[in-house]
Amino acid sequence: MHLKRLITGLVALPFLLLLIFKWGTGIFALTISIICLIALWEYFQIVLADKDYTVSHPIVLLSFVCGPAMIWAAAGSKPDVVFLILALNIIACGLISVLRFKNDPDLPRVIALQVLGMSYIPLFLAYLVLIRNTTEGVAWTFTVIAVIFMGDTGAYYAGRKYGKRKLCPSVSPGKTVEGALGGLAANVLAGIICKLGFALSLPWIGVVPFFMIIGAAGQLGDLFESIFKRSSNIKDSGNILPGHGGILDRIDALLFAMPVAYWLIH
């Protein structure tokens, strides 16, 4: 597992660096759109596992249209359009529910899960694109991603070595208080390194609280996804990333961190 995790990370790292530092907004938005589609597919496989729904269901198909549209609206630096698309998605769900409710009485639950998924995945990913379009956007994009991924790694290894007290056993039995603290320490350390390396405009007095808040949001995102997986009795959201699980497993912390980072940066 450790070897697979390491190999996957080493293979993905050059692509990630090119994506952030070299390639333009179009390729960046296209890549995030693909990640969005895979994450949505994994999400629906989890939350609708007990129902006879497939990707051909109109409510699910709507997500695969509106999700990437939100990403591309963010690529155009139009956050108001991002929220407009989300609103139109809800209106379309309402129309579908009126037309299909008679033959699909469980539709309100499906719509609730769909709207949650749209708010959780494409909306939060849109903030990543919005961050990249800001002043110091490239540096901030790398910084936030590095801080979250290093925090995830720090929590994993600190938990394995020092973990004794369970953090939230009803949601994720493997996570410990010691692991969470190790993750926050790694968040701050990675943030300081990025602050020095990129000469970010963030004042030094705000460095520790900024990256601790980002890290805490990331840990909450990790636990939030664990709730879905635990309710469906599955370990990983997928197997597309050897040693890491699915795309949603890899970005769950990042999803919660991005909107928090965006508003703190602003």
- pLDDT, tens digit (0-9, with 9 covering 90-100), for 182-228: 999 999 999 999 999 999 999 999 999 999 999 999 999 999 998 98
At a CB cut-off of 8 Å and minimum separation 6, what does 215 contact?
Answer: 147, 148, 151, 183, 184, 186, 187, 188, 257
Query: Hey, where are the domains in the chain?
Result: 2-265
CB of 50 closer than 8 Å to CB of 233: no
> Quick one: pLDDT band at residue 52, thresholds 50, 70, 90?
low
Cα-atom radius of gyration of the chain, to the nearest Å? 19
The predicted-structure confidence for 156-180, as pLDDT tens digits, reads as follows 999 998 988 999 888 888 899 999 9
DSSP classification of residue 68 = H
Neighbours of 58 (CB within 10 A): 16
Distance between CA atoms of 71 and 79, rounded to whole angstroms? 10
pLDDT of 12 reads: 84
pLDDT of 81 reads: 98
> Quick one: pLDDT band at residue 6, thresholds 50, 70, 90?
confident
